Amino acid sequence: MKLKYLYLFIFAALYIQCSPDQNADNSNNTQPNESKVVQLDDHSYSKSDAITKHLNLNLTADFDKKILTGFARYKIQNQNATKIIFDTKDLNIQSVTLENDQKTGFKLGQKDDHMGQPLEIDIKPTTKEVTIYYSTIPTSEAVQWLNPQQTADKKHPFLFTQGQAILTRTWIPCQDSPGIRMTYDADITVPKDLMAVMSASNPTKKSGDGKYHFEMKQPIPPYLIAMAIGDLEFGKIGAHTGIYAEPSMLKKALYEFGDTEKMLVAAEEMYGKYLWDRYDIIVLPPSFPFGGMENPRLTFATPTVIAGDRSLTSLIAHELAHSWSGNLVTNATWNDFWLNEGFTVYFERRIMEKLYGAEYAEMLSLLGYQDLEADVKDLEAHDTHLHLNLHGRNPDDGMTDIAYEKGYFFLKLLEEQVGRDKFDKWLSNYFKEHAFKTINTKQFIEYLTESLIKPNNVEVNIAEWVYGPGIPNNCPQVTSDRFNLVDAAVEQVQTKGASTIQTRTWSPHEWLHFIRHLPTDLSQAKMKEIDNAFTFSKSTNCEIQAAWYEVAIKNGYFQNILPEIDQFLFEVGRRKFLTPLYRAFKESGNLEVGRKIYAKAKPNYHAISVQTMDGLLGVE
């Protein structure tokens, strides 16, 4: 064994001994093991001896009662099991049948705050089919039922689901582990004037009778099953790409995401064929708790990225990139979430670089580095490891910039060590060899060591990056000449005044960098001067709005622009923006102002955002 591998081995061995993380790392979770029945991951009750292979979902959406009713029929792979276990949360289970409509016994286990309840169903060793008749409740955590007022056109109600990480079980009883893949088809009935779409083959027109049929022929994990229902129209971007949006949003969205087909082509050129047939985007109402969600064939996107100038489309590159990293090669458990997101951020920035140049990608990387530094400062050390131990916790806790940005910089380091050509070939192979499979961190490190590190004879402190805290010393340095000029402008604003700055050619990214670097102790007069000069408070770019409002709250300037902040927090439900703004209220001694705004805005937010803000603001 060469010295460097010895070093890696010792570090990893030491780590395994002193960290509980490794115990949670179940390396049996990709393949069912004939001899041993194992629980597939920490966040699912399902067991390996009876697993789901295909779902036939049949649901009716009742917008008056705000419930989904119907059944989930599964084809299962059964290794002589006499029980099959599903994950459920807040579902009303009516009955369960096996083949030939034969009723069978079932039992709901104890409730857990995060995990919900196991549904244990009696089966025979020969059982191949299980059907669960059920309905959801109006407050199902995955589903948001919106009234017309909460949509763009204000005429029709809307519904969307958000499955990741463990919420699919709140609208479909399922084996809700990213380690279990299945194909699905669905028959969905909705009010006649609405259209339903899913992470599957989709209609391009309303059906007239409110009935829709969907097929997802590639096996996917349950967190990627998604549905939206609303007054939707379809518009084409390119041969394989298009947009679903409410009528008044469609034209704007088609312009904003006009480069999507080019992104798809660029992605395929770098890392291999797109294996999901079509790539469409649905623009959701602003309460969508995320920027984007990579539901296969149909990315779910917040309307807040429609800035009018295509400046925030790296989000589309990101969700598209998940078609390889995440959807094709999937993290085995939520402890391995960085494998989904770190690769995706890396891939996203390569797409952006290919389309818009290195300077653009550098700015994105630097903004990402700033996010990473902020998270490293805020989080407890053990939450700054790439590989996490989320046992007994909400997997949402792992959704920090560590997975995204530390993951990105680790991959960038590998790229720099072996050179881009070799790295790209390796990454293409990684996607190809693991297509439609899951991978955990341990397996990944083995693969990385054998297929990239050893053949190229390079030395990388993998264990420190993956199992250690913070940002390792050899983190790649990114610089941006354009940001250097912005840094000088931040100084100049304070010494010579806002009107002396030349900013005509600045992109929103440069503005964002500028705002992020304003001190938090500027005088009211200076804040006003800056606002008058650059009209941040009236910006229509959500990134700039959110960054500026945060500075305004921290500087005590917010009283001057309270209507704008109020409006933003009332309309936008994207957690990435809500968290820093409400936190700024809290930490600047203005908790009551924050609570008052929240009380009014809360009914507009999705359960995911509500849960985080309730905790943050100490309300129920």
Q: Which are the catalytic amino acids?
A: 319, 404
Helix ranges restricted to H, 468-574: 481-495, 508-516, 524-534, 542-554, 562-571
**Mask 152-171, x = binds ligand BES (CB under 6 A)?**
------------xx------
Alpha-carbon distance of 274 to 284, in angstroms, equals 24
Query: Given the structure tokens 């991959």, which residue do they identify?
Result: 411
Minimum distance from residue 5 beta carbon to ligand BES (Å): 34
Pick the stretch among 16-24, 139-147, 286-294, 438-446 that binds ligand BES (CB under 6 A): 286-294
Pick the stretch among 132-140, 225-233, 268-276, 291-299 that binds ligand BES (CB under 6 A): 291-299
Pick the stretch among 168-176, 289-297, 352-360, 599-607 that binds ligand BES (CB under 6 A): 289-297
Minimum distance from residue 116 beta carbon to ligand BES (Å): 16
Name residue 438's amino acid.
T
Q: Site residues (CB under 5 A) for Zn ion? A: 341, 344
Q: Does 43 bind ligand BES (CB under 6 A)?
A: no
Considering only residues 104 through 163, tell me which ones interact with ligand BES, judged by CB under 6 A: none
Pairing of strands 227-230, 195-198: antiparallel
Minimum distance from residue 93 beta carbon to ligand BES (Å): 26
Task: Please say which residue, 323 or 344, places its beta carbon nearer to Zn ion.
Answer: 344
The residues near 502 (Cβ < 8 Å, ≥ 6 apart) are none
Q: Which does 176 bind (CB under 5 to 8 A by kind): Zn ion, ligand BES, none?
A: none
Instruction: From residue 6, give the alpha-carbon distance in Å to each of 3, 449, 451, 469, 477.
Output: 5, 12, 17, 21, 28
Helix ranges restricted to H, 277-436: 314-321, 337-356, 358-378, 401, 407-418, 420-433
Task: Please say which residue, 93 or 345, places its beta carbon nearer to ligand BES.
Answer: 345
Q: Which does 576 bind (CB under 5 to 8 A by kind): ligand BES, Zn ion, none?
A: ligand BES
Alpha-carbon distance of 545 to 515, in angstroms, equals 10
Task: Please say which residue, 324 or 558, places its beta carbon nearer to Zn ion.
Answer: 324
Minimum distance from residue 410 beta carbon to ligand BES (Å): 16
Alpha-carbon distance of 64 to 145, in angstroms, equals 10
Q: Which does 293 bind (CB under 5 to 8 A by kind): Zn ion, ligand BES, none?
A: ligand BES
Minimum distance from residue 327 beta carbon to ligand BES (Å): 10
Of positions 576, 593, 604, 607, contacts ligand BES by CB under 6 A: 576
Q: Does 284 bind ligand BES (CB under 6 A)?
A: no
Could you give the count of Cα atoms lying within 13 Å of 457 in the half-sphere of its Cβ? 0
Minimum distance from residue 330 beta carbon to Zn ion (Å): 12
Task: Please say which residue, 318 or 513, places its beta carbon nearer to ligand BES.
Answer: 318
Q: Which does 339 bind (CB under 5 to 8 A by kind): ligand BES, Zn ion, none?
A: none
Of positions 81, 174, 194, 315, contacts ligand BES by CB under 6 A: 315
How many chain residues touch ligand BES (CB under 6 A)?
15
Alpha-carbon distance of 384 to 372, in angstroms, equals 10
CA angle 601, 602, 605 (to 5 degrees): 100
Q: Are 356 and 417 in contact (CB under 8 A)?
A: no
Q: Which does 290 bind (CB under 5 to 8 A by kind): Zn ion, ligand BES, none?
A: ligand BES
Minimum distance from residue 490 beta carbon to ligand BES (Å): 25
Q: Which does 89 bind (CB under 5 to 8 A by kind): Zn ion, ligand BES, none?
A: none
Q: Which does 291 bind (CB under 5 to 8 A by kind): ligand BES, Zn ion, none?
A: ligand BES
φ/ψ (deg, to 5) at 399: -85, 70
The residues near 510 (Cβ < 8 Å, ≥ 6 apart) are 363, 482, 483, 485, 486, 503
Nearest residue to 221 (alpha-carbon basis) of 333, 118, 299: 333
Radius of gyration from C-alpha coordinates of the chain:
24
Task: Please say which residue, 165 or 284, places its beta carbon nearer to ligand BES.
Answer: 165
End-to-end distance of the chain based on CA atoms, in angstroms?
57
**Mask 523-562, x = binds ligand BES (CB under 6 A)?**
----------------------------------------
Pick the stretch among 128-136, 138-146, 285-293, 534-542 that binds ligand BES (CB under 6 A): 285-293
Pick the stretch among 312-320, 431-439, 493-501, 512-520 that binds ligand BES (CB under 6 A): 312-320
Considering only residues 317 through 356, tell me which ones interact with ligand BES, judged by CB under 6 A: 318-319, 322, 341
Minimum distance from residue 223 beta carbon to ligand BES (Å): 8
Considering only residues 352 through 411, tell me which ones interact with ligand BES, judged by CB under 6 A: 399, 404
Minimum distance from residue 317 beta carbon to ligand BES (Å): 8
The residues near 377 (Cβ < 8 Å, ≥ 6 apart) are none
Query: Given the structure tokens 């549905």, which residue do they identify?
Result: 227
φ/ψ (deg, to 5) at 257: -100, 25
In eight-state DSSP terms, residue 222 is: G
Minimum distance from residue 609 beta carbon to ligand BES (Å): 11
Burial label, 38 (beta-carbon count in 10 A; 0-12, 13-18, 19+): middle
Q: Which does 86 bind (CB under 5 to 8 A by kind): ligand BES, Zn ion, none?
A: none
Nearest residue to 189 (alpha-carbon basis) of 55, 59, 56: 59
Task: Please say which residue, 226 or 453, places its beta carbon nearer to Zn ion.
Answer: 226
Helices 607-617/591-601 angle, 10° precision: 160
Beta strand residue intervals within 178-333, DSSP E: 182-189, 195-198, 211-220, 227-230, 233-236, 241-245, 279-283, 292-293, 298-301, 329-331
Which residues of the chain form contacts with ligand BES (CB under 6 A)?
164-165, 290-294, 315, 318-319, 322, 341, 399, 404, 576
